[in-house]
């Protein structure tokens, strides 16, 4: 399939359905997703829906896929109306992980994956964050393996406690509410997912200072890591008025209220339902 977020769509899913029909597969045929997050999400959606479900194996080859998207069973596609609006919970029966494939990642792809690693560290606590701050590149295979393992353990722990996102699994959306809106407004042709999440994390920490009294030092420490991985520190050249339609379609929203995942401090996340659109716009303008 063509590379890029634009391929995570119903048209590409239909093309894959056609290929599977031509192969005359049955419900015992395994579908193997070999690639990054887009491949895993799309292939997982196809596996969940073709013949009402066939076995899925994930073989994640990017950092973001190894630490995040191959875990937890969220599969789906994007619509022009918003990101990940069509999907299912369909965990892979098997995930085959090999950190050595990360040797071949372009720097931009490694950096994009580090946005999710930074998110997991903020959710986990100061010890995990200090581990990332103390990394010295180039990383050895052992260091890469430990980075991936630590990050995966954060997500796996949350998913095990709340597999269908009825409660704390929403915390894994830290930084993603604004990130998804940006990706959607750019029609999946601007920032990649990691770049959008990197900026989304900074916005979340700024909102966390206003709403929950988070110490501003954490935004400064985040900024150091965003710069280290060439992730955006300032908002894109986008009119804020293009974002509300996508923010209102965020899956965490309830009763018409925006809900943002914010932090009191690293390791202590909350879903806040009292973030107004005006506050989000103020944050957007401050981070120009």
Catalytic residue among 83, 120, 150, 193: 193
pLDDT per residue as tens digits for the range 104-115: 999 999 999 999
173 is catalytic: yes
In this prediction, residue 118 carries a pLDDT of: 98
pTM, rounded to two decimals: 0.94
Query: From the CA atom positions of the chain, what is the Rg in Å?
Result: 18
* Residue 159 contacts residue 173 (beta carbons within 8 Å): no
Give the active site residue among 5, 116, 120, 183. Answer: 116
In the chain, what are the domains? 1-97 (3.40.50.1970), 157-286 (1.20.1090.10)
One of 8, 74, 119, 120 is an active-site residue; which one?
74
What 3-state class would DSSP assign to 64?
A: helix
Q: Please say if the pLDDT value at position 255 is more than 90.
A: no
pLDDT in tens, 13-71: 999 999 999 999 999 999 999 999 999 999 999 999 999 999 999 999 999 999 999 99
Across the chain, mean pLDDT equals: 96
Each residue's pLDDT tens digit, 102-156: 999 999 999 999 999 999 999 999 999 999 999 999 999 999 999 999 999 999 9
Q: Is 165 a catalytic residue?
A: yes
Q: Does residue 193 carry a catalytic annotation?
A: yes
Choose, from 152, 169, 202, 206, the residue flagged as catalytic: 169
Is 227 an active-site residue? Answer: no
Q: What is the mean pLDDT of residues 75-87?
A: 95
Q: Does residue 120 carry a catalytic annotation? A: no
Give the pLDDT of residue 251. Answer: 87
- Let me know if 251 is a catalytic residue: no
Instruction: Tell me the DSSP string of the chain.
Output: --SSGGGSSHHHHHHHHHHHHHHT--TT--EEEEESHHHHHHHHHHHHHGGG---EEEEE-SHHIIIIITSS-EEEEEETTEEEEEEEE---SEE---GGGGGG--HHHHHHHHHHHHHHHHHH-HHHHHHHHT--SSPPHHHHHHHHHHHHHHHHHHHHH-TT-SSGGGGGGTTHHHHHHHHHHTTTSSS-HHHHHHHHHHHHHHHHHHHH---THHHHHHHHHHHHTT--SS--S--GGGSHHHHTT-TT-BTTB--EEEEEETTEEEEES---HHHHHHHHHHT-
pLDDT-derived band at 254 (thresholds 50, 70, 90) equals confident
> Which position among 83, 150, 176, 235 bears the catalytic label?
176
Task: Determine whether 84 is an active site residue.
Answer: no
Which is the catalytic residue, given 24, 28, 52, 237? 52
Is the pLDDT at 256 greater than 90, yes or no? no
Cα separation, 62 vs 99, in Å, equals 9
pLDDT band at 199; cut points 50, 70, 90:
very high
Decide if 171 is catalytic.
Answer: no
* Cα 288 to chain centroid, rounded: 23
- The catalytically annotated residue of 180, 221, 235, 259 is 180
């Amino acid at each position: 399939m063509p590379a890029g977020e634009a391929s995570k769509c119903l048209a590409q899913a239909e093309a894959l359905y056609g290929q599977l029909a031509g192969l005359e597969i049955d419900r015992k045929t395994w579908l193997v997703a070999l690639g990054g997050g887009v491949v895993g999400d799309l292939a997982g959606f196809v596996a969940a829906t073709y013949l009402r479900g066939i076995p899925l194996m994930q073989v994640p080859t990017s950092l973001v896929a190894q630490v995040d998207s191959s875990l937890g069973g969220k599969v789906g596609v994007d619509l022009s109306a918003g990101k990940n609006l069509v999907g299912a919970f369909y965990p892979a029966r098997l995930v085959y992980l090999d950190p050595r494939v990360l040797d071949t990642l372009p720097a931009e792809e490694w950096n994009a994956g580090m946005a999710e690693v930074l998110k997991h560290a903020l959710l986990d606590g100061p010890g995990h964050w200090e581990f990332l701050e103390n990394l010295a590149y180039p990383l050895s295979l052992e260091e890469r393996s430990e980075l991936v393992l630590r990050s995966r353990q954060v997500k796996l722990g949350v998913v095990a406690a709340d597999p269908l996102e009825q409660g704390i699994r929403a915390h894994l959306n830290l930084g993603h509410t604004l990130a998804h809106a940006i990706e959607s407004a750019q029609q999946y042709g601007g920032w990649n997912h990691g770049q959008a999440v990197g900026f989304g994390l900074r916005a979340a920490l700024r909102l966390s200072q206003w709403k929950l009294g988070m110490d501003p030092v954490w935004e400064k420490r985040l900024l150091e890591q965003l710069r280290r991985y060439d992730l955006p520190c300032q908002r894109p050249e986008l009119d804020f008025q293009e974002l509300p339609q996508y923010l209102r379609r965020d899956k965490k929203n309830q009763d018409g209220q925006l809900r943002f995942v914010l932090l009191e401090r690293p390791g202590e996340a909350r879903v806040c339902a009292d973030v107004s659109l005006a506050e989000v716009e103020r944050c957007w303008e401050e981070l120009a």
